[in-house]
Structure 1
Amino acid sequence: MKNNLIFFFLLFAACNDGYKKGPADMQYLIHHDEPGAAIKPGDYLCLHYIHRTENDSLLASSYDFDHAVIFPQRKPAFRGDIFTGLALLSEGDSATFKLNFDSMQIILNVPKPPSVKGKYLLFTVKIERVIPKGAKPDSVFNKEVRAFLAEDAAGSKAAEAGKISRYIAEHKLSPQQTSSGLYYIVDRQGSGPLAKPGDTVKFDHTGRYITGRIFDSSMKDTAMKAGIFDLRRPYTPTVAVAGQKVTVPGVDEALLHFPQGTKVTLILPSALAYGGDGNAVFPPYTPLVFGVEILDIVKSGNP
């Protein structure tokens, strides 16, 4: 995975020119061209991506969660969008597209960050797999897609424990583990009583991919340093009732496990994060790392 990521960074360093003109205002640069049928609407795609701004600031990468994204190819919504670009490729190809930010919202639902200048972003892709729809009956094609998704999920499930072990070893950590499987390292020990269900807990948090890159933080300075600052959100501590499903299960558990003043690093297996199904942001069986600081605990008055 790391070698692939380094390869893509080298591509970015080398692709300042040589782009070809595509439809509308799209530009593209083919890095590797495998023989094969071009991607068509209805085909199912499995690809890795990195997208960056024109000044080379990283916005998102599928390598952060070490899992390719999987989705059906669509008909272009407008000339020069990302689906127009993908239609130029086949299985095994890699390319960089210079696209208007509006195009990216269609495929990744990522609006242009307020702090980003310029009209375009660079979107580098590597097509790992194409399941062609062709003339197959829906029943046959859907069965093929389901089999691929099941195989992919099984591979991700089998690899998860290794990802966590490598993270712990690479960072020279000695975590403790709760009965649920939550790993934790106390960075600063707090004091006082633990929260009980119904108590109100105020806490700061920072969420990271297993690669270490931050994807969310309640703290403004942290978000700005990580390049994820969003003018539209307030950066304030979270106030939550302990014992309720407030965040992901691993963080919910931590709110009941540590006293006020504690700073702790949590390593969440996917079962304590977004599970085997994942969601629109996190693929299935994605472990995550959270830093949590318990700022205050207000007792509910209930025994």
Structure 2
Amino acid sequence: MKQKLMFLAIAAIGFASCNGGFKKGEGGLLYNIHTSKGGTHIKDGDFVSVNMIVKTDGDSVLSNTYDMGHPIIIMPMPKPQAKGDIYAGLELLGEGDSATFKVATDSLFKGGQQRPPGLKGKFLIFQVNVNKVLAKGALTEQVFHGRVTDYIKSLTDGMKALEPGKIKKYIADHNLKVTTTKSGLNYVITTPGTGATPAVGDTAVVNYTGRLPSGKIFETSVKEVAIKEKQPMEPGRQYAPIRIPVGEGKVIPGWDEGLQLMNKGSKITLVIPSDIAYKDQGVGPIGPFTPIVFEMEMIDIVHPNPNAPKPAMPQMMAPPTTK
């Protein structure tokens, strides 16, 4: 079946000693259960939908599904890979339960795995809320997958219904005086530029920052913005303007349209509905039916060189001869 939400892939990890408020389970598992509805606990093979905040013990947030606007899906729930790992922790919970797990950071990077630069602190803290559990049990694959499909459809239908409100709220909260095009693109030019706008076939050189409706950054080409807003720095990433062929479908439709509204030196804010972004699929932290926001600056417009040599045409095969 086609999954429309982000999947959770967490390596098997062991938990270390903790401080106040946490209980120690089998294999050194550290946990603090905040809410227990008393229902059936999660078992391997089940479908699980969770909201989760992951942060360091210095309160630096690494990921937050509430910011992303959609939960994490685990399917199928795997068996614990070792005593006291994260899956063993989740098996202490059922639908509607919430808990905090504390993970020794060093335990995540064994067997030659390198600790990412910039990841500080002794612990990673997982704050988990279990939204939904669909038990596999003795159900046939057809029945089980049917129930999963129905649940995911209900999630995405709910996200679709909420999208117009998210767009209006972002515009209102940030006091944007937008113009809306026929496609639904909302834009405001925050800094005028000079000269003509790019034509199809030109190359736009732009800096950009992408945000979720929560305002959380998911991508930027500007190092200073990444540092200021505590965006995790990608190892080896070169922060610099990117070059985009205009009007050639190399980017989402909302970008293609927005670039043609800019001239050199201009800055623009685009509030892009999912219909001209990532639609009902989403990608990475961007969920299905999720509007996205881009703040962009046109650094330069490069026109094609009319004197550049034309690419050689491929030679056609000679037609067969008759005898």
TM range (shorter): 0.7 to 0.9
Is 1:226 matched up with 2:239? no
Aligned to 2:293: 289
Relative distance call for 1:212 and 1:40 in structure 2 (3 A) is: same
Paired letter, 1:88: L
Matches within 5 A, 1:25-174: 25-72=28-75, 73-101=77-105, 113-174=116-177
Judge conservation of contact 1:26–1:100 (CA < 8 Å) in 2.
no
Equivalent residue, structure 2, for 1:263: 267
Question: Which of 183, 193, 197 is equivalent to 1:194?
Answer: 197
The reply to whether residue 205 of structure 1 matches residue 208 of structure 2 is yes
Q: Secondary structure at the match of 1:258?
A: coil
- Establish whether residue 237 from structure 1 lines up as the match of residue 263 from structure 2: no
Residue 129 of structure 2 aligns to a residue in which SS? strand
User: Is the 1:82–1:104 Cα contact (8 Å) retained in structure 2?
Assistant: no
- Corresponding pairs, count: 284
Deviates more, 1:217-226 or 1:72-81: 72-81
Q: What is the TM-score normalised by the length of structure 1? A: 0.87
Q: How much is the aligned-residue C-alpha RMSD, in angstroms?
A: 2.2
TM-score normalised by structure 2 residue count: 0.82
Higher helix share: 1
Partner of residue 6, structure 1: none
Which secondary structure state, in structure 2, belongs to the residue aligned with residue 283 of structure 1?
A: coil
Conserved in 1, the CA contact under 8 Å of 2:68 and 2:285? no
Unaligned runs of 5+ in 2: 1-17, 307-323
Change (3 A) 1:296 1:138: same
CA deviations on 1:52-74 (whole Å, 9 max, x unpaired) are 11111111111113222223122
Q: Is 2:250 aligned against 1:246?
A: yes
Structure 1 pair 294–103 and aligned structure 2 pair: CA distance change class (3 A): farther
Deviation by residue 1:67-113 (Cα, 9 ceiling, x = unmatched): 222231222334433222111100010001112458889xxxxx964
Alignment partners' CA distance in 1, 2:134 and 2:33: 21
Cα pair distance change 1:140/1:104, threshold 3 Å: farther
Deviations 1:22-42 (A, max 9, x none): 344542111111111110111
Q: Does 1:179 align with 2:182?
A: yes
Q: Alpha carbons of 1:204 and 1:279: their partners in 2 closer, same or farther (altered >3 Å)? A: same
Secondary structure, counterpart of 2:279 in structure 1 = coil
Change (3 A) 1:136 1:66: same
**Pair 1:251–1:17, CA change in 2 (3 A):** farther
CA distance in 1, matches of 2:19, 2:273: 40
Kept after mapping to 1: 8 A contact 2:69/2:287? no
Residue 177 of structure 1 and its aligned partner are, at CA, apart by: 1.2
Distance, in Å, in 2 between the alignment partners of 1:144 and 1:208 is 33
